[in-house]
Chains A and B, each alone.
Chain A
Amino acid sequence: MRATIYACERGDEMPARNREQWEKKPDLKLGEWVDSRIYSDEEIFEEELAKIWKKAWVPLMHESELPEPFDFRTAIIAREPIIVVRGPDKKIRAFLNVCPHRGMAIDRRPAGSFLEGEPSGNPKHMTCMFHGWQFDMKGNCVEIPREKAGYQGRVTKEGQGMRRLRCETRFGGIVWVCLDDKIDCDVEGWAAGCLDCIRDSLDEEPLEIFHYHKAIIDCNYKLWHDTNSEFYHDYMHYHNRITGFDDGYFARKCAAFDNGHVNVGTFTVNYGEYEVAGDRGELTFPHLPPNNWYMVDMFPGININLRGSAVRMDLMTPLSANKVMIEFRGLGLKSDTEEIRERRIHHHNTIWGPFGRNLHEDLVGVAGQGVTMMPKSDTRRILHGRHEGLYIHDEVGMRHFYDTWGKWMDRRPSNPDKKYKEGVVVGPEMPPAKGITAFPGRAAAE
């Protein structure tokens, strides 16, 4: 029998918490915190790829990245290589970038055009360099070298088309792809109204991409989405504190939508308060008042900001439980003059460029979270409990996301070893979004 009870075991002589206190469930309602294993567990990550990323509408790029017929762009969803092409009919289509012969990636480049022939193939065809199989822009196989000699009719071009994927171009020219042929809604239905706040701005006239860069960060993809879902982290950004944190800022309100999406209403940013930024009121977007800012966060991990004079779009490719690729895009109007485009670029990049004020801080933040939630690290409780009547520092964005996540995964975010149970998880208390029935959240104790 031990004679000595250490002070750390009594827990009453140490200023910070002992292990038992640290691991105790927070004195919050379910839904107001999550178990860190949802960010670090490799088995959960594999399930997310299978149950979420292979089933949801995923935006991959903007149509202006493939402006001409025969242009293409490659991407990845849940480890599946994708190629998106614009056909001679100008329609955008998506396929698995996989040759049906022996599985080679048909095109190895990030982007380009099939207008010119490849060394192994003809112009206006997708050509697999390995054995010269060729495909048209609708994914039909149009050439198998020595087909009859090798296959004697057992394998024919007609039966060897590429795997075509559900693909839509919607909301300002964003290209969406779904790996699930049987998804029961189109992109409009999937968005469930969350983009209505900026729809007119996005759709008024064609947009054009002006910025692209990427980051690969050692953290779970959901941590980046969490950061984009909340504004409490504005304490990290001197720029935001100086240009915001006024009555207008704190009056911004969050709204949640079906399918796990959230948007945040606008306010007028005082850009003139931050040196270098300068007032941006002279340049805006159609239907957007000067210096205003809407943000939309979509499940399973998309962020679209319409801020001042530019659209910023973050698209994620989860790579592992603790690694994510984030592609950052900036968009203006296709009709912009060179001078106006330069101003939009300047506005976008002084805040969100790779050398801008805010993005670097956001990424340092989530990289720090990745350090503490590596696979097989001890479980931590991650708090999502701020309630502020859905105003700007309310954490409803994350509560709503994880409730949706729990349903898709059939796992409880606060204890992923347990199945999701309707009504047990606290839903956000909020007014129903326009046209959407009230979110079925009910307070419950475990």
Chain B
Amino acid sequence: MSTNGTEMVKDAIYQACLNLDEKNWDEWLGQCDDDFEYSVTAYSPEIGKDMKYLFLSHKELKEYFELLPKHNTDHSPLRRHATVYSVAVDDNAKTAEAVTSFLITQEMFDGVNAPLDTGENHLFVVGKYLDKFSIANGEAVFTEREARIHTRRLDKGSHWVL
């Protein structure tokens, strides 16, 4: 386990990607503060506005995930390819911010024509994670995440967070 703030932040971001890839929702929320806020945002040049496609608190996310089995979902896995571009740790090493570029691909499974499409990967969204952390006890905990995407064509969309 790293004692370096920057490395702790990077570890947290990449671990979050692994957790989200595997839909380990509880583990991912376990990386987040109780006051964690999550949003998916985008700028639309079509309408000239910043948009919020989703924004949920930690509590709402927990309820969101608990209700997932009750919804009909396209189960095509989403997988992240992320690169942490920058980490800024404040002087007292108690908080940090990071910018991470990501691509999320979708491995076709049951959302379209399964016999033809399974096994193919499509690019689903492109964006940047804008994350904020608190750092304590040797780990970085998410206090806020904005998944700012550069995609407005989202086809079927998803029930899963990005």
Contact = CB atoms under 8 A, between A and B. Distances in A.
A345 B52 contact: yes
Interface stretch (A134-142, A260-268, A348-356): A348-356
Contacts of A355: 40, 53-54, 157-162
Interface in B33-74: 40, 42, 44-49, 51-56, 60, 63-64, 66-67, 70-74
Interface stretch (B6-14, B21-29, B79-87, B148-156): B148-156
Contacts of B66: 275
Contacts of B55: 346
A110 B47 CA distance: 9
B44 A212 contact: yes
A275 B44 CA distance: 29
A367 B64 contact: no
Q: Is the interface of A mostly helix, strand, loop or mixed?
A: mixed
Nearest to B113: A371
B157 A354 contact: yes
Contacts of B71: 237-239, 357, 360-361
Interface in A299-325: none
Given A355-B159, A360-B159, A216 B52 contact: no
Contacts of B160: 355
B112 interface: yes
A237 B46 CA distance: 30
Contacts of A342: 52
B156 A217 contact: yes
Contacts of B40: 355
Contacts of B67: 238, 275-276
A212 B46 contact: yes
Contacts of A215: 153-157
A429 interface: no
A245 B66 CA distance: 22
Contact of A360 (B44, B49, B157): B157
A368 B46 CA distance: 29
B60 A217 contact: no
B53 A354 contact: yes
Given A238-B67, A276-B63, A355-B53, A360 B158 contact: yes
B155 A236 contact: no
B53 to A, nearest CB: 5
B111 interface: yes
Nearest to A236: B72
B53 A349 contact: yes
A214 B153 contact: yes
A112 B155 CA distance: 24
B156 A212 contact: no
A65 interface: yes
A110 B45 contact: yes
Nearest to B153: A214
Given A217-B156, A276-B60, A364 B52 contact: no
B54 A353 contact: yes
Contacts of A214: 152-154
Contacts of B42: 213
B157 to A, nearest CB: 4
A63 to B, nearest CB: 11
A327 B113 CA distance: 23
A371 B49 contact: no
A165 interface: no
Contacts of A65: 46-48
A239 B63 CA distance: 13
A98 interface: no
Interface in A68-85: 73
B47 A359 contact: no
Interface string A213-248: 111111000000000000000001111000000000
Contacts of B54: 349-350, 353, 355-356
A213 B64 contact: no
Given A111-B47, A209-B49, A238-B71, A371 B154 contact: no
Given A65-B46, A111-B48, A238-B67, A360 B153 contact: no
A363 interface: yes
A52 B106 CA distance: 36
B159 to A, nearest CB: 6
Interface of B: 40, 42, 44-49, 51-56, 60, 63-64, 66-67, 70-74, 111-113, 152-162
Q: Which 7 residue pairs across A and B have the least CB separation, nearest first?
A: A354-B157, A354-B154, A238-B70, A275-B63, A363-B156, A355-B54, A360-B157
7 contacts: A67-B48, A236-B72, A329-B47, A349-B53, A354-B53, A357-B71, A359-B157
Given A65-B46, A209-B49, 20 more contacts: A65-B48, A67-B48, A109-B45, A111-B45, A111-B48, A215-B154, A215-B155, A218-B112, A218-B113, A345-B51, A345-B52, A346-B52, A349-B54, A355-B54, A356-B54, A357-B159, A360-B158, A361-B71, A363-B157, A367-B156
